[in-house]
Amino acid sequence: MQHEPAEIAIVGVGQSDFRALYAPTDRPRDAYALAAGALREAIDDCGIDKDEIDGLLCSRVEYGRLATVLGLRNPRFVHDLEGSGRMSGVALQEAVALIANGAADVVACVYGNNGRSARMRYGGEGGGPTVAYDEMYGMTSPGAYVAMMYQRYRGMYGASEDALAPLAINNRRHAALNPAAVLQKEITREDYLESRFIAEPLRLLDYCLINDGAVAFIVTSMERARTLRKPPVRVAATAGMAHITNYYTAEDFFYSACQDVASRLYRQTGIAPEEVDCLQIYDNFTPTIVFTLEGFNHAPRGEGWSWVDEEKIRHDGPRPLNTAGGHTSESYMQGWAHHVESVRQLRGEAGARQVPGCRTVQYMCASPIVTSHILTNDEAVAR
C-alpha cells in the first residue's frame, strides 16, 4: 500500500544503556546482541508484533546475521548501509521512501556498535580515498579534516579560542540530565581550555566518544501508527544532498549542500527555522555544530560561533540543542541516538531535560551526505 511521504511516522525507539556498557570488559561485546536488545525495546515501545516488520535497514551490523539473530526470516526488503555517521539520516529517508512507495509497511532501522570493546580506532589505520597520499604527512582521522575546516573558519570569521566551549559544556550539562549518558560530570570553560589538543585547533573535549551501544527505530504509516501504543512522531519532511570530494574537508564547510536541503525542508513543511523547538545536530566534532547552524539558517553565516551561548542552547532556553548530550557526552551512536532523542522530546518522555512544549524537532547532519528531517507531534502541520 502506498502513502504520502508526509504521512509516515516513527512509532518505536530503543537504545542501549550506554553508561552501563561503558564499563570495562575483557572481550568485545557482540554488536548483534546489542542491536537485538535495542530493537526489542523499540518493539516494546510501540507494541507492534515482530512479524509485522517487513523491512530491515542495518548500519554497522549486517542484515544476514542480524535477521538470523532476530528470527526475521522473510522481510520484503533488506539493505545494509555502511557503518558511517552520515547513514543514520539516510536510514530514515530510505524507510520513508520504502513505505511511501509500498515496498514495505513496517521498517526497522537498526544500528549496533561495539567500537570501544573491540578497540576500534579512528585514525592511523587507513580509510579515506586519498589516505594513501595523506599518511606520509602524518594526516589521518576524520577529526583532523574537520580541524582543517575549523582553522579556516576561524581565520575567516575571527572565532575566539574558546568559541567551541559552550557546545562542549552544553552537551555535558545535558548528559548530566540523561541517566543513560556515558559522561555526566559537568565541565567549565576552564576545563575546556585545559583539555589537550588532538588536532589543533581541536581539543579532546571537541571530540566524540568511542563507546559500545545500539539504537533501533521502527517506521510505518501514520495510518498504522494511530493504532499503536504511543503518539506517532510524524516525519513531516526529510531531504538530503551529498557533498563528496577527495577529503572529509568541505571547502565551504558543507554550506551549499546544507542550504539546498534546508530550503526544501522549510518549503515543504511551511516551518521556518526559528519555529523549530529543539535542534538535534550531528556532532562528531563540535565545529560541525557551528557549520550546521549556519547551513540551516539557524545562525547567520560566519556568526554561528558567537550565536551559541550556554543559556540560549540549554534544554530550557530559547534554542535547545542536543538535549541528550550529543556525541561528546551521551554516546557516539553516529547520529542514531539523536533520532531517539528527537522522538522522546516530541513525546514528552525526556525527563529532566525535557524541552517545555516541544512540538517540532529538526535533525541535521553536515557531512559528505548532508541530511535533515523535521519531525513533529502535530498532525495539523502545514504543508
Partner 1 sequence: MNAESYERLLPEITPENRPFWDGLAENELRLQCCDACGEYRFPDSEVCPRCLSGSFSWRAVSGKGRLWSWIRMHQKYFDAFDEVRPYLVAYIKLDEGPAVISTLGETPDDLAIDLPVRAVFEPGFSERTVLKFTVERPEPVA
Considering only CA atoms, give the Rg of the chain: 19
Question: Smallest distance from the beta carbon of 291 to partner 1, in angstroms?
Answer: 14
Give yes or no for a contact between 276 and 374, defined as CB atoms under 8 angstroms apart: yes
Residues 152-171 that bind partner 1 (CB under 8 A): 152, 155-156
Residues in the chain: 383
**What whole-number distance in Å separates Cα of residue 35 and Cα of residue 125?**
26
Figure out which of the listed residues 11, 182, 198, 370 binds partner 1, where binding follows CB under 8 A.
Answer: 198
Order of strands across the sheet that contains 233-242: 77-81, 55-59, 106-113, 213-221, 8-15, 233-242, 369-376, 360-365, 278-281
* Residue 141 Cβ vs partner 1, minimum distance, rounded to whole Å: 6
Q: Which of 23, 27, 73, 138 binds partner 1 (CB under 8 A)?
A: 138
Residues 95-124 that bind partner 1 (CB under 8 A): 123-124
- Only one of the segments 130-138, 296-304, 309-317, 325-333 lies at the binding site for partner 1 (rule: CB under 8 A); that segment is 130-138
C-alpha cell at 56: 530491515
**Interacting residue with partner 1 among 136, 272, 380, 382 (CB under 8 A):** 136
Stretch that binds partner 1, among 13-21, 169-177, 242-250, 319-327 (CB under 8 A): 242-250
In terms of DSSP bridges, do strands 278-281 and 233-242 run parallel, antiparallel, or are they unpaired?
unpaired
Of 161 and 186, which CB lies nearer to partner 1 in the complex structure? Answer: 161
Does 199 bind partner 1 (CB under 8 A)? Our answer is yes
Q: Is 210 in the site for partner 1 (CB under 8 A)?
A: no
Nearest approach in angstroms of CB 247 to partner 1 is: 7
The number of CA neighbours under 13 Å toward the Cβ of 74 is 2
Q: How many CB atoms lie within 10 A of CB 296?
A: 25
Question: Contact between 84 and partner 1 (CB under 8 A)?
Answer: no
Contact 175, 314 (CB under 8 A): no
Tell me if 201 contacts partner 1 by CB under 8 A. Answer: yes
CA–CA–CA angle 320, 336, 362 (5° rounding): 35
Taking the complex as a whole, the smallest distance from the CB of residue 138 to partner 1 amounts, in Å, to 4
Q: How far apart are the first and last CA of the chain?
A: 22
Residues of this chain that interact with partner 1 (CB under 8 A) are: 123-124, 129-130, 132-141, 144, 147-149, 151-152, 155-156, 196-202, 245-247, 249, 251
